[in-house]
Amino acid sequence: MLFRPGSLANSLPLSIPPATRNKLEKIGILRPIDLALHLPLRYEDETCIVKIAQLNEGQGAQIEGEITHSEVMFRPRRCLIAQVQDDSGILYLRFLNFYPSQQKQLAIGKNIRALGETRTGYFGLEMVHPKCSAVTQASPLKKQLTPIYRTTAGLTQRTLNKYIQTAIKELTLDDTISLPLRSKIKLASFAESVQFLHNPPPQVNEQSLLDRTHPAWQKLKFDELLAQQLSMRVHYKKRFSYRAPPLFNQEKYKGQLLQLLPFKLTAAQKNTLYEISEDLSKPHPMHRLLQGDVGSGKTIVAVLTALQAIENGYQVAFMSPTEILAEQHFLKLSEWLTPLGIHLGWLTGSLKKNEKKTVLNGISDGSIQLVIGTHALFQEQVTFHNLALMVVDEQHKFGVQQRLTLREKGIAPHQLIMSATPIPRTLAMSYYADLDISTINELPPGRTPIITRLVNNARREEIFERVRETCLAGNQAYWVCPLIDELSIGNPETLQLQTLLETHQQLTLAFPDLRVSLIHGKQDSGIKAATMAAFKAGEIQLLVATTVIEVGVDVPNASIMVIEHAERMGLAQLHQLRGRVGRGVAQSVCVLLFQQPLSELARARLKIIYENTDGFEIARQDLNLRGPGELLGARQSGAPMLRFADIVQDEKLLDLAKAVADEMLNDYPQDAQAHLQRWLANKQDYLHA
Ligand code: ADP
Ligand code: MG
């Protein structure tokens, strides 16, 4: 016996050869139970033979016939082509890489079975790299679908299958959800589902296995989602065991600032502020995500939050993803807070040594009450006098990693994380369930909706007139050049810069009557700051920029934005960029230049951004289009992606898992523990983050 029945062992048995163990570990199989949870990617059907004449293009099938021709050809490149015939027709088998043994197997006159996907090839119907086997008098057909697993080099399907089969035979695959709860949720049992997916019986409905709607898949997906929910809830609750300074609402500075502002808060801003304020007054750290569409006014909410900490005599750190945004915030916050007598500091990587020293001193002796900066705020030399609140702007990608850094420094401050774009419900429910969420669900009044235009790059010069008119009428324009990933074979940064410089040159020539300037991430920070200040002051009319201006930049007088190569950009990024205009009273336009030919994905993205202005809707469609991976960014490192469940497709299971997780933690804590152990015990950072 390889595994002890019911084994909860945390490592694979030593009787598995070390080389094999290493390979298993490579694909995430560290414990016996992981073998059972290594579910098939797909299935191959070797239960029947299909006549060649009945083959459908694009479909997998197994055929049987005699080799009537076999030859190494150079059309279009070196490959082995064999012609196989049955009593209904002829099919070609193509091998781009092959061994002499394969040539022998496919010699004229041999009888073979070939399993693969049919497509139209050079000579007619063909299979590329089919799985071939010799047929003898009595080669029985398989009785059931053959599971195909994710594997790694040197670990064959056969070996993997052998260990999986042993594991599911020997382990006790008890349900971790005990009966009273299980009878409520009406899903198949764990053991049966695992057995079924690894050994689907003959005559099973293949489609429900492939699209994972079969009850066995539903059960496994549910269990996976449940583990995620449990882990997030445990993580969430753990926070209440840490202490943080309670920050009471003192109304000392807040009222003053509100009086100074040229606008009134929207109802949504007031509501979120109330939620945050309540949370801060508790003696454990707040971890709250503040989400709202581009331009919904998150900054002022964050600043009022900061004031609550300062009123209580504590320090606040305000972190921005880019230097340009940090600088903008510094200017804005100075304007708002200096009149109240609050001392601000500013820290980025590019500060001169002396300046840096002064700021670091101010942070450690407490004379700086609010410090604004980039990731530099996380560096080792930074010692806070009494940090109580960390605001992280425009970055829902702010990951578990940074939080760990904070924790390691021995502080558990309150944290307000502002997401750059809205987060769809299912994503918030799954990957952000460890955070509390406040949502600003309306824009300040008086905004004119932005008009979006899609323009073929071949007609870019037609846009010039529009830009000129806008600028001559007293407004300003952005011209954005993105990162050019696909072309960056040599040095990406140099190439991007070169494209940007060329565009800048072209536009300078095209607009001799306008003041055109340039900004990008590689510039000296003094130059960047001066350029932004000049643009803000209206001295620059047309600003050529990289996507460094993507987040946060706030110049209400800018009313037209042209984005080059919009087809290469993600939706969140396009929406963010577009949000840089439409901030003032003038009618704003965003021109998306695209380059033909468009991929299907690019076309879908452009359609979505063209048809929608609501960031929540765009985010939802983005999730449908790309899945959570891209939207999560750095979060991924802390939260393993779901392997089986899909938060869009399995939304109902997610809702159910959330409800069950709460009940399980309250009423069946031991089951919850066992379930986490089964699914996540080998994902250490996730559990302890
Ligand atoms: P975002 O949510 O994208 O970070 P900002 O905080 O930059 O948005 O706010 C966008 C603009 O709207 C800023 O110029 C800000 O001063 C302004 N603003 C914020 N709240 C209001 C309000 N209640 N009424 C009018 N303007 C507002
Ligand atoms: Mg912002």
Which tens digit of pLDDT belongs to each residue from 279-325?
A: 999 999 999 999 999 889 999 999 999 999 999 999 999 998 888 88
Per-residue pLDDT band at 7 (split at 50, 70, 90)? low
Mutate to test the pocket of ligand 1, among 299, 320, 335, 391 (most ligand atoms within 8 A of CB): 299
Q: How high is the pLDDT of residue 506? A: 92
Out of 3.30.70.1230, 3.90.1150.10, 3.40.50.300, 3.40.640.10, select the CATH number for domain 450-612.
3.40.50.300
Q: How far is the CA of 270 from the centre of ligand 2 (A)?
A: 17
Is 294 touching ligand 1 by the criterion CB < 6 Å?
yes
Mutate to test the pocket of ligand 1, among 261, 263, 549 (most ligand atoms within 8 A of CB): 263
Point out the ligand nearest to the CA of residue 304: 1
What amino acid occupies position 388? A
Average pLDDT over residues 516-529: 86
Sign of the four-CA dihedral 540, 541, 544, 547 = positive
Q: How far is the CA of 550 from the centre of ligand 1 (A)?
A: 16
638 against 658, higher pLDDT: 658
What's phi and psi for 610, nearest 5 deg? -70, -40
Q: Which atom of ligand 1 is nearest to the CA of 264?
A: 23
Q: How high is the pLDDT of residue 79? A: 87
214 against 524, higher pLDDT: 214
Is 231 touching ligand 1 by the criterion CB < 6 Å?
no
Point out the ligand nearest to the CA of residue 290: 1
Residue nearest atom 19 in ligand 1 by C-alpha distance: 297
Is 297 touching ligand 1 by the criterion CB < 6 Å?
yes
Q: Over the stretch 111-155, which tens digit does the pLDDT of each residue have?
A: 999 999 999 888 889 999 999 988 877 778 888 888 999 999 999
Q: Over the stretch 358-401, which tens digit does the pLDDT of each residue have?
A: 999 999 999 999 999 988 887 778 889 999 999 988 665 555 55
b/e sequence 572-582, b meaning 16+ C-beta within 10 Å: bbbbbbbbbbb
Q: How far apart are the first and last CA of the chain?
A: 37
Distances (CA, A) of 517 to 97, 362, 508, 544, 670: 54, 35, 8, 6, 64
Is 419 touching ligand 1 by the criterion CB < 6 Å?
no
Q: Which atom of ligand 1 is nearest to the CA of 296?
A: 2
Q: How high is the pLDDT of residue 630? A: 63
596 has a pLDDT exceeding 70: yes
Instruction: Please report the DSSP string for 66-91 in residue order.
Output: EEEEEEEE-SSSSEEEEEEE-SS-EE
Q: How far is the CA of 321 from the centre of ligand 1 (A)?
A: 18
Q: How high is the pLDDT of residue 683? A: 65
Residue nearest atom 16 in ligand 1 by C-alpha distance: 297
Per-residue pLDDT band at 679 (split at 50, 70, 90)? very high
Q: Which atom of ligand 1 is nearest to the CA of 269?
A: 23
Point out the ligand nearest to the CA of residue 302: 1
Is 582 touching ligand 1 by the criterion CB < 6 Å?
no
Is 296 touching ligand 1 by the criterion CB < 6 Å?
yes
Q: Report CA 384 to chain centroid distance, whole Å.
A: 32
Residue nearest atom 17 in ligand 1 by C-alpha distance: 297
Q: How far is the CA of 276 from the centre of ligand 1 (A)?
A: 18
| Residue 652 to residue 401: CA distance in whole angstroms | 31
- Domain positions in the chain: 48-141, 252-440, 450-612
Residue nearest atom 15 in ligand 1 by C-alpha distance: 297
Average pLDDT over residues 46-62: 89
Q: How high is the pLDDT of residue 313? A: 95
What's phi and psi for 56, nearest 5 deg? -110, 135
Q: How high is the pLDDT of residue 99? A: 87
420 Rama sector, left if φ>0, alpha if ψ -120 to 50, beta otherwise: alpha
Percent of the chain with pLDDT over 90: 58
Average pLDDT over residues 503-509: 93
Per-residue pLDDT band at 251 (split at 50, 70, 90)? confident
Point out the ligand nearest to the CA of residue 552: 2
Q: Which atom of ligand 1 is nearest to the CA of 265?
A: 23
Q: Report CA 438 to chain centroid distance, whole Å.
A: 21
Q: How high is the pLDDT of residue 637? A: 43
Q: How high is the pLDDT of residue 638? A: 45
Q: How far is the CA of 486 from the centre of ligand 1 (A)?
A: 35
Per-residue pLDDT band at 551 (split at 50, 70, 90)? low
Mutate to test the pocket of ligand 1, among 554, 559, 575, 585 (most ligand atoms within 8 A of CB): 554
Point out the ligand nearest to the CA of residue 303: 1
The residue among 600, 647, 656 whose CA lies nearest residue 624 is: 647
Average pLDDT over residues 331-339: 94
Q: Which atom of ligand 1 is nearest to the CA of 300?
A: 6
| Residue 523 to residue 521: CA distance in whole angstroms | 6
637 against 505, higher pLDDT: 505
Is 583 touching ligand 1 by the criterion CB < 6 Å?
yes
Please check whether residue 171 is in contact with residue 36, taking contact to mean a CB–CB distance below 8 angstroms.
yes
Q: How far is the CA of 335 from the centre of ligand 2 (A)?
A: 16
Is 300 touching ligand 1 by the criterion CB < 6 Å?
yes
Q: How far is the CA of 332 from the centre of ligand 1 (A)?
A: 11
Q: CA neighbours within 13 Å on the CB side: how many for 158?
A: 1
Is 266 touching ligand 1 by the criterion CB < 6 Å?
yes
Average pLDDT over residues 620-637: 70
* CB burial of residue 54 (10 Å; 0-12, 13-18, 19+): exposed
Cα torsion through 368, 373, 378, 379, rounded to 10: -80
Residue nearest atom 23 in ligand 1 by C-alpha distance: 265
Residue nearest atom 18 in ligand 1 by C-alpha distance: 297
Point out the ligand nearest to the CA of residue 422: 1
| Residue 360 to residue 520: CA distance in whole angstroms | 27
Per-residue pLDDT band at 686 (split at 50, 70, 90)? very low
What amino acid occupies position 558? A
Is 295 touching ligand 1 by the criterion CB < 6 Å?
yes
Q: How high is the pLDDT of residue 642? A: 86
Q: Does domain 252-440 have CATH number 3.40.50.300?
A: yes
What's domain 48-141's architecture? Answer: Beta Barrel (2.40)
Which of 6-10, 205-209, 268-272, 516-520 is predicted least confidently? 6-10
In CATH terms, are 48-141 and 252-440 the same topology? Answer: no
The residue among 506, 529, 527 whose CA lies nearest residue 516 is: 506
Point out the ligand nearest to the CA of residue 557: 1
443 has a pLDDT exceeding 50: yes
Mutate to test the pocket of ligand 1, among 261, 300, 423, 438 (most ligand atoms within 8 A of CB): 300
Mutate to test the pocket of ligand 1, among 272, 296, 333 (most ligand atoms within 8 A of CB): 296
Q: How high is the pLDDT of residue 549? A: 75
The residue among 181, 635, 676 whose CA lies nearest residue 434 is: 635
State which H helix or E strand residue 363 sits in. Answer: helix 353-365
Residue nearest atom 5 in ligand 1 by C-alpha distance: 297
Instruction: Please report the DSSP string for 302-339 in residue order.
Output: HHHHHHHHHHTT-EEEEE-SSHHHHHHHHHHHHHHHGG
Q: How high is the pLDDT of residue 144? A: 86
Average pLDDT over residues 592-617: 93
Cα torsion through 628, 633, 637, 642, rounded to 10: 0
Mean pLDDT of the chain: 87
Q: How far is the CA of 372 from the centre of ligand 1 (A)?
A: 18
Q: How far is the CA of 301 from the centre of ligand 1 (A)?
A: 9
Q: How high is the pLDDT of residue 282? A: 94
Q: Over the stretch 66-123, which tens digit does the pLDDT of each residue have?
A: 999 999 988 678 889 999 999 999 999 999 888 888 888 899 999 999 999 999 888 8
Percent of the chain with pLDDT over 70: 91
Average pLDDT over residues 251-276: 94
Which residues lie near ion ligand 2 (Cβ < 5 Å)?
552
Please check whether residue 272 is in contact with residue 297, taking contact to mean a CB–CB distance below 8 angstroms.
no
493 has a pLDDT exceeding 60: no
Contacts of 529 (CB under 8 A, 6+ apart): 324, 327
Q: How far is the CA of 263 from the centre of ligand 1 (A)?
A: 9
